[in-house]
């Protein structure tokens, strides 16, 4: 019996480290997704921590604060990509998306994809390299929990996991 308990608990520990991965699958066809013009793409890039962002809305200030130190000089150039079949949902900003990976914040200089998907209607998050390696962390700026906290914490900006608006 003792043996069994040891086996079960080490298996649970393995599972726990596995679920530090993305909550939504890698969008293998991301290069053919639709690029959107948004407030962030208008700014063009995420700056380093010395940038004066005091005139931006609080959610954008918090985004810079969260990511400005992930790379010297800041994360850099960005694009917003949306799965072609949900372009209408993105533009409508109704907060309703079909299940699957739907939106990407492409950190072009870092060659990293922040992905938002939906599972049973709820928003789920993950981080991948451009070629599909899951680099979603267990804690810190690249953890799914960090995405959720911000993407649900600013009601005026984010609906159903979507924060930006088509401009």
Residues of this chain that bind ligand HEC (CB under 6 A)? 38-40, 59-60, 62-63, 66, 80, 103-105, 114-116, 125, 127, 142, 146-147, 150-151, 162-164
- Select 62 or 71, whichever has its Cβ closest to ligand HEC: 62
Shortest distance, position 73 Cβ to ligand HEC, whole Å: 19
Nearer to ligand HEC, 5 or 44 (CB): 44
Cβ of residue 95: shortest distance to ligand HEC, in angstroms?
11
Taking the least distance from each CB to ligand HEC, the nearer of 8 and 88 is 88
Nearest-10 crossing angle of helices 144-153, 58-67: 170
On the 0-12 / 13-18 / 19+ scale of CB atoms within 10 A, 11 is: exposed
Instruction: Name the minimum Å distance from CB 49 to ligand HEC.
Output: 14
6/20 Cα distance (integer angstroms): 22
Residue whose Cβ sits closest to ligand HEC: 164
How far is it, in rounded angstroms, from Cα 159 to Cα 102?
Answer: 14
Distance of alpha carbon 64 from alpha carbon 45, whole angstroms: 10
d(CA 41, CA 51) in angstroms, rounded, equals: 17
Provide, rounded to whole angstroms, the least separation between the CB of residue 93 and ligand HEC. Answer: 9
- In terms of CB distance, is 10 or 149 closer to ligand HEC? 149
Collapsing DSSP to helix, strand or coil, 135 comes out as coil
DSSP, collapsed to helix, strand or coil, labels residue 68 as coil
Residue 24 CB, nearest approach to ligand HEC (Å): 9
Tell me whether residue 8 or residue 145 sits nearer to ligand HEC (CB atom): 145
Give the pair of three-digit tokens for residue 164: 């930006």
């Amino acid at each position: 019996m003792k043996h069994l308990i040891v086996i079960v608990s080490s298996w649970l520990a393995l599972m726990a480290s596995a679920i530090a991965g993305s909550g939504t699958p890698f969008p293998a066809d991301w290069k053919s997704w639709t690029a959107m013009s948004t407030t962030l793409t208008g700014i063009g890039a995420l700056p380093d921590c010395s940038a004066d962002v005091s005139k931006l809305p609080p959610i954008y200030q918090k985004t810079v604060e969260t990511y400005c130190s992930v790379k010297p000089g800041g994360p850099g150039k960005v694009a917003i990509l949306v799965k072609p079949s949900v372009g209408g949902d993105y533009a409508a900003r109704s907060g309703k998306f079909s299940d699957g990976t739907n939106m990407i914040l492409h950190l072009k200089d870092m060659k990293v994809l922040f992905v938002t998907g939906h599972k049973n209607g709820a928003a789920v998050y993950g981080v991948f390299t451009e070629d599909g390696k899951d680099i979603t962390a267990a804690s810190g700026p690249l953890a799914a929990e960090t995405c959720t906290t911000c993407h649900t914490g600013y009601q005026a900006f984010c609906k159903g996991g979507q924060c930006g608006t088509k401009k």
